[in-house]
Amino acid sequence: MSKSNFSYIQLFRHKFNRLVSISLFLLTLTIILSWSWILPSYTQTPTPNVQSRESLIQEIKDYAERHVENDKAMDSRLMIDLYEKNSVGLSTPEITKIYEEEYTKLKEAKDSNLWERIKDDLFYGLSWFAAIVFLILFIFKEAIQGWATNLTNTFGDWLYNQISGLELFWNYSLRRYKKGLINKHEKLKIPFRPNRPLSL
C-alpha cells in the first residue's frame, strides 16, 4: 500500500470522526433545547388549589370546637401561627375573627347546657370529696385498721362456729383447739416468779 493511500485513509477517518462528533453534539443540543421548551409548559401550568377557602375556614372552626370541648382557653395566636401563610387569601384578622367568633359561640352554648354544668360540677366535686375522704382515712388509720381487724376476726369466729361441727372440718377444729390450749397454757405462772413464767 502506498504512502499516499495511507494518508487519504487517515484523513477520511479523521473527517468521519469529526462529522460523527459534530452530529452527536447537534443531536444532544437539539434534545436539550426541545426538552427545555417542553418542560416549562408543564411546570408553569397552574396547579389546582387543593385547599379551598371554605375548607380552611372549616378547619379553623374545628380547632375552636376541639378547644371548647377540651376546656382549653382561647388561643388565637396558635391559629395565626398555623394559618397565617395560606394560599387562599385569608388575612390574619380574618383568621382571628373566624376562630374567636366560633369559639365564643360554642363556649356560650356549652355553658348554657345544664347537663354540661352538672357534669363539670360533679367531677370537680368528686375530686375534692375523694381528697377529704383520704384525709379522714389517713388521720384515723389506726382506729379503722383495728375496727377492720376486729370485724374480720368476729366474722371468722362466727363462720368457724357455723362449720366446726361438720365432719369435713373435724381435723381443722381439732388443730385449732390444740393450738388454743397451747397458747393458753404454754406458760405456767408461778406466784414467786411473777415476771418469769415456766415454759411447759
193 pairs with which residues across the strands?
A: 190
Three-class SS state of 71: coil
The tens digit of pLDDT for each residue in 83-101 reads 888 878 888 888 888 888 8
DSSP classification of residue 72? P
The tens digit of pLDDT for each residue in 2-56 reads 555 557 677 777 777 888 888 888 888 888 877 776 665 555 444 435 458 888 8
Q: What is the largest CA-CA distance in the chain?
A: 152
Q: What is the pTM of this model?
A: 0.37
Interhelix angle 141-163/114-139, rounded to 10 degrees, is: 80
For residues 106 and 68, is the Cβ–Cβ distance under 8 A?
yes
Cα–Cα distance measured from residue 24 to residue 136, given in angstroms and rounded to the nearest whole number: 96
Grid cell 380547632 — which residue?
63
